[in-house]
């Protein structure tokens, strides 16, 4: 049951090309992923809601993401939620939620 703790599985489309940088001697890829749910509201109208997720990938998988992923590509990811905070230029504390990806599958092209 350990694998069920803090586990996230998403299928969605990239909102941007991955940005690959080097941090602490390791490769890091950052990008956003959009997931959408469609349902009918009380009036029978079709409604689509889109959620945006910030993703981080480390190591060799970051190289793969930087080389092969482009804005609009559909992927499936498995990872864990992380929260961090930082102070902006005005001294305000900001909170940020990210998904640290452990595994990724490329599913198809742009929508």
Q: Domain span at residue 68?
A: 2-108
List pLDDT tens digits, range 36-45: 999 999 999 9
Q: In this structure, are strands 8-14 and 74-87 parallel, antiparallel, or unpaired?
A: antiparallel
**Structural domains in the chain (count):** 1
Asked if pLDDT for residue 110 goes beyond 60, the answer is: no
Q: Return the pLDDT at 24.
A: 85
List pLDDT tens digits, range 1-38: 566 789 999 999 999 999 999 988 999 999 999 999 99
CB 20 within 8 A of CB 65: yes
List pLDDT tens digits, range 50-105: 999 999 999 999 999 999 999 999 999 999 999 999 899 999 999 989 999 999 99
Q: Return the pLDDT at 91.
A: 92
CATH code assigned at 7? 2.40.50.140
Q: Return the pLDDT at 2.
A: 62
Query: How many CB atoms lie under 10 A from the CB of residue 75?
Result: 21
Which residues, in sequence order, are bridge partners of residue 15?
none
CB 34 within 8 A of CB 110: no
Which residues, in sequence order, are bridge partners of residue 9?
78
């Amino acid at each position: 049951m350990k694998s069920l703790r803090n586990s996230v599985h998403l299928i969605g489309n990239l909102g941007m090309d991955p940005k690959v940088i080097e941090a602490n001697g390791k490769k890091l890829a950052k990008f956003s992923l959009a997931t959408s749910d469609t349902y009918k509201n009380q009036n029978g109208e079709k409604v689509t809601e889109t959620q945006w997720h910030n993703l981080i990938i480390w190591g060799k998988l970051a190289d793969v993401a930087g080389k092969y992923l482009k804005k609009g590509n559909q992927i499936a990811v498995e990872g864990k939620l992380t929260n961090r905070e930082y102070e902006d230029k005005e001294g305000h504390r900001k909170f940020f939620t990210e998904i640290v990806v452990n595994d990724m599958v490329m599913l198809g092209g742009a929508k």
